[in-house]
Amino acid sequence: MKSGLTLFIAIFMAGCTFMHQDFANYGKNYEKIKLHLLTIGDEKQQVVSKIGEPVNVIGSKKFENGTVEVWSYEKWHARMGYDQKEEEYWLYFLNGKLEQWGRPGDWSKEADRIYEIRYR
């Protein structure tokens, strides 16, 4: 009986360890995105050093006078059974410098607008 209980506890603890390792390497951000650290004009490398690597590069478009690139950052909420995306922000860069950021639905065609505002 005693060895059976010891075996059960050992298996249970091993399962928790594997679960923790899986959760740690899940590839999702569960921490708050520290947007307050960003400053308009930050270069891409500065942004990465302040808030980490982007989850995704949404897109990039080259214009006559420069390139617009859009990065995505996400914050997830751990839930029983499935995780839920809690927040998503898009960062817009023009020629490698941060121009603006916000939620994806805030601007439908913002990449073109950035270009128009800067060069027209």
Radius of gyration of the chain (CA): 21
Q: Give the DSSP H/E element, type plus range, for residue 52.
A: none
Q: What is the pLDDT of residue 25?
A: 44
For 2-28, write each residue's pLDDT tens digit. 666 676 666 666 555 545 445 554 566
Check: pTM over 0.85? Answer yes or no: no
Domain 31-119 has CATH 3.30.1450.10: yes
> Best-predicted range by mean pLDDT among 60-69, 85-94, 104-113?
60-69
What is the mean predicted confidence (pLDDT) over 95-109? Answer: 84
Residue 57: pLDDT over 70? yes
Domain ranges of the chain: 1-28, 31-119
Over range 78-104, report the average pLDDT.
Answer: 85
Specify the amino acid at residue 31: E
Long-range contacts of 89-95 (CB under 8 A, 24+ apart): 89/33, 89/35, 90/58, 91/38, 91/47, 91/54, 92/68, 93/44, 93/68, 93/69, 94/66, 94/67, 94/68, 94/118, 95/66, 95/67
pLDDT at 93: 96
